[in-house]
Each structure stands twice: as C-alpha cells, then as structure tokens.
Amino acid sequence: MKVYPIPMVPGPVQVPKRILEAYLTQYGSPDLESDYRDLYLQTQTKMQQLMGTKNQIAFMTGEGMISLWGSLKSTIKPGDRVLTLGTGVFGYGIGDLARSIGAEVETVGFEYDETLHDWERIEAAIINFKPKMITVVHCETPSGSLNPMERLGELKKKHNVPLLYADMVASIGGVEVRTDDWQVDLALGGSQKALSLPCDISFVAVSSRAWEVIREVKYPGYDALLPFDQILDKDDFPYTPHWHGMAAMYTSLNLIQEEGFQAVYQRHEKLAENTRRVLLEIGYKLFLKPSAISSPTVTAVNVPSSTDWQTFDNRLRAEGLVVGGSYGPLAGKVFRIGHMGAQSNQELLDKALKILRKIYQQL
C-alpha cells in the first residue's frame, strides 16, 4: 500500500491528531448508557450552531451517500414531483436517485463549469412543475463550485414548495452555511470533507415540515430518517451508535469553535484564493468559467494539454503528492485540490504547489 506525505484529495481528508485520539479512546455501551445520549445532544448543539439551524439533526453511521439516499427515500413516494437543479455530477446524480425511487423528476440544468444563475428559468420551473421537493448541491466537489443558496431559499418560500433538499457535504465546516435562513428542510452533511473525519458519519438537519412528511411516508429501510424522529426523547437508537465517530465529530466541532467560525471560513477563503492565483501564475487553467462561483473548499483544474491524467497523476504521486481526479464527463480532464478542513493549511498547500510547479515545468 502506498502512502503520500502531501494529501490534497477532496475527501477523505487528513485527520488531525486530536480527532484521531477520540477514535483511540475506549467508551462504554452506547445504547445503554446516558453518557452517549449526552454526547449526541452536545454534538447536535454544536452542529446546529455551525449549520445555522434550530432543526433536529440525525447523525447516521455511514458515508455521505447514506444521507443522500435516506433523505430522499424518507420523504419521496413514487409519483412525487422533484425539481433537480443540476450544475455537476452530484446535482444531476441526485435527480437520478429520485427517478430510481419512482419520483417524477424535472431538471433545470446548467453546464458543469457553471453555478446557478438564470433565476427566471428556475422560477418558471417551480411555477409550472409545482414540485414537492427542490434538490440542490451547495458545493459541487467534482467541479469545485459553490452554488448560491439565498435566492433559491427565497423562491422556495415565495412559491410555497414543501421541501428543499440541499447536499452540503463538501461545504459544512469550510464555508458559512445558513440552513434556516436559506429555508433548507433537509440539510445534508458528511464527515470526511471539511470536518476532517474518516468517512463514517453522515448527518441531516431536518425541519419540522420535513419530519411531518417523514412520518407520513414511513419509509422503513436501514437508511431511514424516521427512527431519528425525536431520538433524544426516545433514547432508542436504530442501530449500535458509533460512539467513537460521534466523539470524533464532537472534537472536530470543538476545533472549529476554538478557532472561531469566521476565522475558519476566512482561512478557507484566503488559502483557496491563493491556490488559484498561484496555479494561474504557473500556467494551469482553472476548470470553472470566470462567471461561476469557486468553492473555498476545493479547486478544479484542467489537466494540462501537454499530458494525460494518468501520466500527470503518476508524476505527482512520485513526488509524494496526491490530488483528486474527477468523475462523469470530467473524468480524465480535471484534477482537484481539496483545501478543506485540515488540508486548508498554508504549509501543506505550499508543498503541493511547489510540486505542481515543478511537474508543470517538466511537461
């Protein structure tokens, strides 16, 4: 197995020592002890602050996709109308997930190098299609883009759409998220991005409107949200709770709180801007159109035309640097630098950029 001293993959990211220590600690029996319940409550309180919400949060054991699937299946029945906003792999992919469970899906689509705009088209689709749910991705990791959420929330409210589902897996912890202000009913997060944990916890902040729908749909699967309804009053977790993971999540939130929310966002913004500036100065071409909004957590860059992705990746790895490739139509064309969470670090980025400069000049 190969290891790389300069990890820049946009998830799973490097895990800081203090978080690792939470995994190495021995705990009790989580479904029998009130200590676990207290940890859940305290973690939820901190996460609510980070996500700008008063909504109850379901912490599920599993990687990001468990909340993407579980939130759809818990709220959508065959024939329900879902309006998907597509600006990349995950945005379009969520439409496919909804279709696979029998929803009638309409897509307002954009190019992968764009972020949401053309609000007239989006509003017209809401008016004509009358969806039960709108789906959106805040940070499209494969494109390195960040969709504006405020205006979407206003439209959702204006047209009384019951549910707004937002994938915030790659933004929470690196970018300000205002779940309640943006009218998000299902705000989805993952542990392996800006929270700097392994990929073992996914979480959803669920609005009271969404809980009503969840109780009505009664989806019974392993990834269901229903068992988490008022979980702290019931004290009955649906499966063996992941005490180590929740302790690690609590530690991650403490680290963010100790630095300060705004300081964390400014660090991400500053280092992302600096990364993009240096890449351009070297000669790389950024993937996004200039009119699109770049995410402070990840940058997508075109693979230089003088090489191919495999050769380029091998050359970087030989220097100890690992970046992310991309997916779907971007596979082989785009590489990504994940400057999120513990990897939003000046020293690490300087090392990565030095290697990226060297390899570019050699090609």
190 lies in the site for ligand PLP, by CB under 6 A: yes
Q: Which stretch binds ligand PLP (CB under 6 A): 50-58, 64-72, 121-129, 249-257?
A: 64-72
Rule CB under 6 A: is residue 192 a binding residue for ligand PLP?
yes
Instruction: Decide if residue 167 touches ligand PLP (CB under 6 A).
Output: yes
Task: Work out whether strand 201-206 and strand 6-7 pair parallel, antiparallel, or are unpaired.
Answer: unpaired
Instruction: Decide if residue 199 touches ligand PLP (CB under 6 A).
Output: yes
Task: Give the contact letters, 113-142, x = binds to ligand PLP (CB under 6 A), - = no.
Answer: ------------------------x-x-x-
Minimum Å gap between C-beta 14 and ligand PLP is: 16
Of positions 36, 59, 69, 90, contacts ligand PLP by CB under 6 A: 90
Closest CA to 60 of 42, 90, 40: 40
Map the footprint of ligand PLP across residues 265-294, applying CB under 6 A: none
304 with 360: CB under 8 angstroms?
Answer: yes
H/E stretch holding 251: helix 243-259
Smallest distance, Å, CB 114 to ligand PLP? Answer: 16
CB of 192 to ligand PLP, least distance (A): 5
Q: Residue 347: exposed, middle, or buried by beta-carbon count in 10 A (0-12, 13-18, 19+)?
A: exposed
Is there a cis peptide before residue 131, judged by omega within 30 degrees of 0? Answer: no
Size of the site for ligand PLP (CB under 6 A): 15
Q: Which residue is nearest to ligand PLP (CB)?
A: 64
192 neighbors 198 (Cβ within 8 angstroms): yes
Burial class (CB in 10 A: 0-12, 13-18, 19+), 236: exposed
Q: How many CA atoms lie within 13 A of 243 on its CB side?
A: 16
Q: Which C-beta is closer to ligand PLP: that of 8 or that of 137?
A: 137
Query: Which residue in 153, 149, 88, 135 sits closest to 298, CA to CA?
Result: 88
Cβ nearer to ligand PLP, comparing 85 with 137: 137
User: Helices 346-362 and 261-282, interaxial angle, to 10°?
Assistant: 10
Partners of 56 in beta bridges? 206
Q: Applying CB under 6 A, which of residues 4, 20, 65, 311 lies at the interface with ligand PLP?
A: 65
Segment contacting ligand PLP by CB under 6 A, of 63-71, 106-114, 270-278, 332-340: 63-71
Q: Residues interacting with ligand PLP, by CB under 6 A?
A: 11, 63-65, 68, 90, 137, 139, 141, 167, 169-170, 190, 192, 199
